[in-house]
Amino acid sequence: MKPAPASPEPADPGGRWIPWTFVGLFAVMLVANGCLVYFAFGSFTGLSTKQPYRQGLGFNAALDANARQEALGLEPVLTLTPDAGGALRVSFEVRSRSGEALRTSPPEIAFRRPTAEGHDFSITLTDAGEGRFTGRATPPLRGLWDLHIRVRNDRRTYKWIRRVRVP
């Protein structure tokens, strides 16, 4: 009896690399997503307050207080003038509808950087007479700042927010 002829070896189609291509593409995608997650956790949180949930609960009350304040017709007049050394001369007064200055306590102005944490600071202006208040501020950075102005008069507190550009 003759031995059976050996079956011919099947030709290698050369497609073994195709599944490894998918594995490699998924590995690249996972590394890219891992980098995005790492930089997302290390960047600005996006929170502008310490307790956003609690402040959000009182949002409608804040809107009502703002509407009442606007109904009074008070107009804040804020002037920022740069001087030597990068400081700003700050002048502030509140005028009524008739144009007369409102007598208030010295305003407190909080300078808040809208794009970065850690640079915020506050100043309290001094009375310059006739309802006008002045002071100096030295922002650590140039660019956009949100000024949160708080003024007290008798039993009321008035608040304004102004966005300014510091040269």
Segment 91-117, tens digit of pLDDT: 999 888 888 888 888 999 999 998 887
pLDDT-derived band at 34, boundaries 50, 70, 90: very high
Confidence bin at 38 (pLDDT 50/70/90)? very high
- Which is more confident, 36 or 97? 36
109: exposed, middle or buried (Cβ count in 10 Å: 0-12, 13-18, 19+): buried
Residue ranges per structural domain of the chain: 52-166
Which two three-digit tokens encode residue 82? 């740069």
62: left (phi over 0), alpha (psi -120 to 50) or beta: alpha
Among the residue ranges 7-11, 14-18, 61-65, 141-145, the one predicted with the least confidence is 7-11
Q: Which residue blocks in 11-137 are alpha helix, DSSP H?
A: 17-42, 52-57, 59-71
- Cα–Cα distance for residue pair 112/163, rounded to 1 Å: 9
Please tell us whether the domain made up of 52-166 is placed in CATH 3.40.50.80: no
Which of 91, 80, 93 lies closest to 139, judged by CA? 80
Give me the mean pLDDT over the 80-91 stretch.
89
pTM for the complete prediction? 0.67
Rounded percentage of the chain residues whose pLDDT exceeds 70: 92
Burial class (CB in 10 A: 0-12, 13-18, 19+), 39: exposed
Helices of type H across the chain: 17-42, 52-57, 59-71
Predicted pLDDT at 161: 92
